[in-house]
Structure formats: C-alpha cells, structure tokens
Amino acid sequence: MCGGKEYSFYAKLDEVERELTGKFVRIHQRYLVNPQQVEQIGTDHVAVAGKELPISRALKDEAVRNLARAMLIIE
C-alpha cells in the first residue's frame, strides 16, 4: 500500500533488497520492512501499519538486530 493505493509489482525480492541498499530490513522470505514504519517488534512478528508480519526463524536474530539498529539511528 502506498498512499492508500495498492500496486502490483513483480521482481525477485533479493534484487529489490540489493537496490534498497540497507534502507529496508528483510524479516521473512516474502517481506522487507521499512524500520521507520515498524510499530512493534514481537517475538515472532513485527507490526507495520497495524498488521502483524511474521519474522522467519532463520532471519530472526539478524532481522531484530538490524531493525533495532535502524530504529536507534532514526530516533
């Protein structure tokens, strides 16, 4: 969702992640999140725009570390 609109986009998330150069954090095989939009970090999810997105077990330690680091830099 962007500005209340939904857009379809087809590309490999690995490619998108490389282009975003660290501005977003990979939390799951299917999700990249903008740390500025994360409202809560739970034990197995993050909340973004009132929705809970899962954090994969394989990426959990790195994702939480990267989110925390990014959130500290922002604030």
Please write the tens of the pLDDT for every residue from 14-54: 998 888 877 899 999 999 999 999 999 998 999 999 999 99
- Confidence bin at 7 (pLDDT 50/70/90): confident
Question: How far apart are alpha carbons 46 and 52 in whole angstroms?
Answer: 6
> Residue 49: what are its φ and ψ, rounded to 5°?
55, 40
Q: What global pTM score does this model have?
A: 0.77
pLDDT for residue 1 is more than 80: no
Better pLDDT: 56 or 21: 56
Side-chain half-sphere CA neighbours of 17 within 13 A: 12
